[in-house]
Amino acid sequence: MNRPEKPSTPKQATWLTFAHLFAFGLLLALAIVLVRGAPGDSEVASRVVFTEADVAQVRAKIMRTWNRESTAVELRRGFEQYIRDEILYREAIALNLDRADPTVRMVMVRKITMMGTAQAEAAELRDEEIQAYFTLRTERYRIPARVDLMQVYLSRDRRGDRVQADATQLLASLKQREPEPYELAGLGDLSMFSSVYTDMSEQDLDRTFGSDFGAAVLALTPGEWSDPVESSYGLHLVKVTHREESRIPELAEVLQRVITDIRYENRKAVEDQFYAEIFPRYQILFDEAALAVLEGRDQ
């Protein structure tokens, strides 16, 4: 049988009230510490310690800039700027100015990526590794066919319907006379084009005269004036004077390019591995609006 509880005496009520107040005060004090930091935290946060290594860094910067040792005055001024930069940097971080800044974001991403790939960058490539890489990818390094040529330009805009007939007539004259390169400029219409081009690939020709022009020129028989070749600008009478066929180069000819490609692929593989290792540490969540955009439901 439960006995009825005795009513609290005034003295007991006083102790209970004091205990509640004490507990509340303790929680309040803890909250203040969590929000503001423990006493002295602000002093610690504002304390900036510079060492001999910082002085050496300033001295090295002056050496790189002026290619000589710094004077005492230069070192002191340089270190004053170093201190100024450090204080402003820390204040910016304290104010969260690095948050949502695309430039800072890009720099930090690049920096942590470089940390993950430093070992791959430093690794020496062995000769057999380079040779094996090149052997498996010889087509990537194929040297394209290249030509030297002479051309005479006829403007469709200036000649209108006569352009084709004029080209046929001029072609007959070229085959009969075989003019020297310096004479060609006076035979056609004034334009931005040169009369003579050397060492031109299909891509070079397309970039100069417009798409498909390069393929048409590379199909010509060297040593004779061609029928009119059409470009984006008009008609061209072309004579290929020299042609080098496409070929697979020797490794020595493209060695630096091969080494650059190997280092790039090695670095990319390490970057991907580094990301794969840290990715599981994060939980990726999407709100409904973002999910709708990604799934195409916002259309």
Q: pLDDT tier at 292 (50, 70, 90 boundaries)?
A: confident
Greatest CA separation for the chain: 134
Domain that holds residue 298: 99-142+250-299
Residue 238's SS3 state is: strand
Q: pLDDT tier at 49 (50, 70, 90 boundaries)?
A: confident
Residue 128 lies in a domain: yes
What is the side-by-side order of every strand in the sheet holding 146-155? 196-201, 146-155, 234-244, 229-230
Q: pLDDT tier at 29 (50, 70, 90 boundaries)?
A: very low
Identify the domain boundary among 199, 224, 244: 244
Query: Quick one: 164 and 294 in the same domain?
Result: no
Query: Quick one: 138 and 159 in the same domain?
Result: no
Residue 3 lies in a domain: no
Q: Does 55 have pLDDT greater than 50?
A: yes
Tokens of 123: 């690794």
How far apart are alpha carbons 179 and 58 in whole angstroms? Answer: 67
Q: Is the distance from CB of 135 to CB of 248 less than 8 angstroms?
A: no
DSSP secondary structure string, 147-211? Answer: EEEEEEEEEHHHHGGGHHHHHHHHHHHHHHH---GGGGGGTS---S--SEEEEEEHHHHHHHH-T
Residue 273 lies in a domain: yes
Q: Which of 25-34, 79-88, 176-185, 206-215 has the highest mean pLDDT?
A: 206-215
Query: Which tens digits make up the pLDDT trace of 174-217?
Result: 998 888 888 888 898 888 899 999 999 999 999 999 989 999 99
Tokens of 7: 């009513």
Torsions phi, psi of 236, nearest 5?
-130, 130
Mention every residue, 6+ apart, whose C-beta is less than 8 A from residue 62. Answer: 69, 70, 74, 75, 78
Query: Which tens digits make up the pLDDT trace of 227-238?
Result: 999 998 899 999
Residue 5 lies in a domain: no
Q: What is the CATH number of the domain that holds 202?
A: 3.10.50.40
Mean pLDDT of the residues in the chain: 82
How far apart are alpha carbons 100 and 103 in whole angstroms? Answer: 9
Looking up tokens 């394209």, which residue turns up?
144
Query: Quick one: 71 and 162 in the same domain?
Result: no
What pTM was computed for the model? 0.58
Q: Is the distance from CB of 222 to CB of 241 less than 8 angstroms?
A: yes
Residue 214 lies in a domain: yes
Indicate the angle between helix axes 52-66 and 72-94, nearest 10 degrees: 110
Query: Quick one: 149 and 239 in the same domain?
Result: yes
Query: Quick one: 90 and 103 in the same domain?
Result: no
Identify the domain boundary among 244, 275, 290: 244
Query: Quick one: 281 and 236 in the same domain?
Result: no
Query: Quick one: 159 and 294 in the same domain?
Result: no
Query: Quick one: 107 and 199 in the same domain?
Result: no
Based on C-alpha coordinates, what's the Rg of the chain? 38
Query: Quick one: 115 and 149 in the same domain?
Result: no
Query: Quick one: 233 and 266 in the same domain?
Result: no
Residue 37 lies in a domain: no
Query: Quick one: 134 and 149 in the same domain?
Result: no
Give how many domains the chain has, as a whole number. 3
Query: Which tens digits make up the pLDDT trace of 190-199?
Result: 888 999 999 9
Residue 39 lies in a domain: no
Residue 25 lies in a domain: no
Query: Quick one: 103 and 93 in the same domain?
Result: no
Note the pLDDT of residue 286. 75
